[in-house]
Structure 1
Amino acid sequence: MRPSPANRAFGITAGFGALVVALMLPLGGSAQAQAQAMPAAAAATAHDACGPVPLGEARCLVSVRNDVHGGLGVRGPAAVGRNAAATGLPTGYGPADLRAAYRLPATGGKGQTIALIDAFGDPTAEADLAVYRASYGLPACTTANGCFREVNQKGKPSPLPPAPATKIAAGWQSETSLDLDMASAICSTCHLLLVEADDQTEADLGAAAAVAPSLGATEVSNSYGGEEGNGISGYAKDYRHPGVAYVASSGDYGYTVPSAPAVYAGVIAVGGTSLTRSTTARGWTETAWSRSGSGCSAWIAKPAWQHDSDCPGRGVADVSADADPATGVAVYATVDGGWVEVGGTSASAPVIAGVIALAGNPGKLTDAAYLYARSKDLYDVTSGSNGYCGGGYLCTAGTGYDAPTGNGTPDGLGAF
């Protein structure tokens, strides 16, 4: 999914938005290089769990707080939301916080199965999920009761891929925990299907995403990405299936070359916000997260349902949710030592998949068209920026559609 330097130089001349990207990126032109230039304050408190990857591979997009550490135990009843530190658990939003922020019902999702696509194996995935759900009083979701399934990229329960063999790839286990926990937080009665690709290549991840509907998945969440480039359209078919909603993280490197699979026309691209409590009537305030991925495609044609003026190709993102690690979510992951607070658009993608599952209409969301038609039913995020584009909507939040946050964040289930 990462173009060669020559292809990237050719591709970014295709549109106004992509041309600006070429001017704003550091030497070398890649989003990974841009990540090195993120604000020092953010770099001091969080780290990207997955490191840079070569051409043809994708990286997970979870950002783990360095300054927040929790314990190994189950949450006590006195702990609520971000005030959990007193119990020995980390700060971080829990299910009740996210439901309150986005006006979501505590029940719903009958008959829905959310597939989470990740690379490599995670031998503690089910055990970690059990701790998270028990800690928040969510119903058990296990292999034994039929709620949880873990399969390989061929859709088989064995052999499962081994755990990552390198430190660079080890962050995928953090990603797996985040994905399962956020799907649980939003739709606690949905079934969960963990599909583990053999490797983090675009081919293996695409195969995993493509097999999920055959196992009953109604929503498929993909919290990873690589820069778009020549040839990426060949994998678009892996992320489209009749009646199934595919969502993907928009990326964590601000305004830059769009990320695939989020850039595919059949995928709902999910950006990120900073979510904080406030004294407003809503009780919460959101701004565009400074690292939320956005961009204008030089390779994917503009869908009929996008009408913004400054991007001749597919624009990213379509919708958004909390992704800032500074306003992050609590996650339980053995690989991280227990409870941690995390962010990244890896968090917002499974949140949106869970919202779609709660609404129970995935057939309406086989692309993002319905979200554009029902944008009035979303919270409009009108402030914040994720880079430099001359103050335009491709990198600056404002009234109506903007690329960092799309059409907005969930305000109940009306847009889903």
Structure 2
Amino acid sequence: MRSTPPNRRSLRGSLRRIGAATAATAALVLAGFGSAVQADAATSATTSSKVTWAATGCATPKHAGELACNSYRVTGGLTAFQKQQAARTGVTPKAADASTPSGYGPTNLQSAYGLTSAAASNGSGETIAIVDAYNDPNAESDLATYRSYYGLSSCTTANGCFKKVSQTGSTTSLPSSDTGWSEEISLDLDMASAICPKCNILLVEAKSATMANLGTAVNEAVTLGAKYVSNSYGGSESSSDSSYDTSYFKHAGVAITVSAGDSDYGAEYPAASQYVTSVGGTNLKTSSTTRGWTETVWKTSSTEGTGSGCSSYDTKPSWQTDTGCTKRTISDVSAVADPATGVSVYDSYGITAGWYTFGGTSASSPIIAGVYALAGVPSSSSYPASFPYAKAGTSALNDVTSGNNGSCSTSYLCTAGTGYDGPTGWGTPEGVSAFTG
């Protein structure tokens, strides 16, 4: 029976507070805030407010043996995005105002990861699959609101862009609805849209959050033709993981991404699978550098931050050559996950309908799945988790060199530095070339 790591169980549902920031207008969002020339305004805003957030409902499993999602929703204060916007405009919004976005949107994320050109040109005809548990009855309508606000093309069942199915492929016999997993689903769908706006989206809903049902949903996504599959959930490792690898995640020619976890240093499954791209999390801010952005390891407290570590059970893939872990090392790459520098999401099921800021490695997994989709279809015999390793140490990846997610006996497994490290892998995308085979 699988359970979540003990430190997550003590943490989930509690509020976390860190220093953060001020506000935004919709016009500036659409105008492209976050370009490479944007200075770091986070220290120059005239007002400040502490950001508070809580783990989403699915971060605490409903039943024994279920896995947890890896997401947080901001509940108060002003985010880094809002503070930066306030510095530009001189207008400070109300904290926790759900009427307008308060986190990074598509323009910001595409700018941060060098994807602006690729997102405008690539992805047409590709399908990103999002695998989650339970049903979100408002998934399609919430996605439509997000895409409309940011000027993205319509993605609906009617035009063939969006499809929602159960783990058996049924479009009518869906799982029971769940408010916590619905927030997770909104986050995942919006991030896939933000990175690859021309992609089709397939939402596969498992009937519960067990590994068997979520794994069956992964297999169904592949059966239905998805070449990019995002999974924003995890739990403690077990001796069954090698069999789960073979049963659910060994899909040559398919890029499968998995969140590394939100409970600081420590290995989770399925991020530890040798066949997936494990995705860590960063704090993302604008800066005066040539890139225009800077990133550090996401860590909020001794029990909250990106996961990483050395698997106890899973075999080390041939392309992974770090010497401090004889088995599978987590992570491979990373993207934004800190709720204080989080992403905008529209959600309406079980909470007041509106705009919210989300964080957690649940955000970084679909972001990386979107990058794979922009990069093009993997060869049929490949395992795309290996692709970033071929571009290790090059300008195709932004090396994250500062921060840690805890203490460990082998320092690079929990501390960022030049080159490979556990919390951020080889770094974050700078374009798509590190994600092609």
Q: Report the TM-score, using the length of structure 1 for normalisation.
A: 0.85
Q: State whether residues 119 and 200 of structure 1, in contact with CA within 8 Å, keep that contact through their aligned partners in structure 2.
A: yes
- Cα 1:311/1:347, change in 2 over 3 Å: same
Give CA-to-partner distance per residue, 1:275-303, whole Å, 9 cap, x none.
00011111100001010010100101111
Select the residue among 322, 327, 350 that pairs with 2:366. 350
Identity %: 50
Matches within 5 A, 1:320-359: 320-335=334-349, 336-337=351-352, 338-359=354-375
Structure 2 unaligned spans of 5+: 19-49, 80-87, 300-304
Q: Does 1:397 align with 2:416?
A: yes
Q: Does 1:161 align with 2:168?
A: no
- Cα 1:3/1:329, change in 2 over 3 Å: closer
Matches within 5 A, 1:183-262: 183-236=192-245, 237-256=247-266, 258-262=267-271
- Cα 1:84/1:391, change in 2 over 3 Å: farther
Q: Output the amino acid matched with 1:2.
A: R
CA RMSD, 1 decimal: 2.5
Q: Per-residue deviation at 1:69?
A: 9.0
Select the residue among 39, 44, 54 that pairs with 1:47. 54
Q: State whether residues 128 and 202 of structure 2, in contact with CA within 8 Å, keep that contact through their aligned partners in structure 1.
A: yes
Q: Output the amino acid matched with 1:229.
A: S
Q: Does 1:143 align with 2:135?
A: no
Local SS of the residue matching 2:357: strand
Q: Does 1:181 align with 2:187?
A: no
Q: Per-residue deviation at 1:240?
A: 2.4
Matches within 5 A, 1:280-299: 280-290=289-299, 291-299=305-313
Matches within 5 A, 1:58-137: 58-67=67-76, 85=93, 88-104=99-115, 105=117, 106-107=119-120, 108-137=122-151
Q: Per-residue deviation at 1:91?
A: 1.2
Q: State whether residues 184 and 362 of structure 2, in contact with CA within 8 Å, keep that contact through their aligned partners in structure 1.
A: yes
Structure 1 unaligned spans of 5+: 5-28, 71-79, 165-169
Q: Does 1:366 align with 2:376?
A: no
Q: Per-residue deviation at 1:39?
A: 9.5
Q: Which moved more, 1:357-366 or 1:91-100?
A: 357-366
- Cα 1:55/1:299, change in 2 over 3 Å: farther
Local SS of the residue matching 1:294: strand
Q: State whether residues 260 and 330 of structure 2, in contact with CA within 8 Å, keep that contact through their aligned partners in structure 1.
A: yes
Give CA-to-partner distance per residue, 1:330-352, whole Å, 9 cap, x none.
00000332110000000000000
Q: Per-residue deviation at 1:365?
A: 6.1
Q: Which moved more, 1:185-194 or 1:232-241?
A: 232-241
Q: Output the amino acid matched with 1:160.
A: L
- Cα 1:132/1:182, change in 2 over 3 Å: same
Select the residue among 377, 384, 387 that pairs with 2:406. 387
Local SS of the residue matching 1:41: strand
Distance 1:404 1:266 in 2: 18
Q: Per-residue deviation at 1:56?
A: 2.6
Instruction: Number of aligned residue pairs: give it.
Output: 376
Distance 1:379 1:174 in 2: 29
Local SS of the residue matching 1:362: coil
Local SS of the residue matching 1:185: helix
